[in-house]
Amino acid sequence: MSDTASTTTNRTWVAQGPAGVVGSIHRTHDGFSIRVGRAEEYHGDFPTLDVAKSALHAALGPGADRPEFSEH
């Protein structure tokens, strides 16, 4: 995944796992970008929300539970 310079809009989905918040997904002008953990940088330009959810889950590493996503 690569960093993106896309400007985010006001739509955000928070990803929560058993230990709390594990990341977030942000709507951009180009699609969706993810932030893993408390990182400040955004990663990827994913075409759909479902693809971004899968990418965030994969970024959590092998064996990680799939987080629950809620729009904020």
Render pLDDT for 8-59 as a digit per residue (tens, 0 to 9).
457 999 999 998 999 999 999 989 999 999 888 999 999 999 999 999 999 9
What's the predicted TM-score (pTM) here? 0.83
* Domain containing residue 29: 8-71
- Asked if residue 40 lies in contact with residue 49, where contact means CB atoms within 8 angstroms, the answer is no
Instruction: Assess whether pLDDT exceeds 90 at residue 61.
Output: yes
Domain presence at residue 3: no
Domain presence at residue 2: no
Instruction: Assess whether pLDDT exceeds 90 at residue 62.
Output: yes
How many structural domains does the chain have?
1
Domain presence at residue 1: no
Question: What pLDDT score does 7 carry?
Answer: 52
Domain presence at residue 48: yes
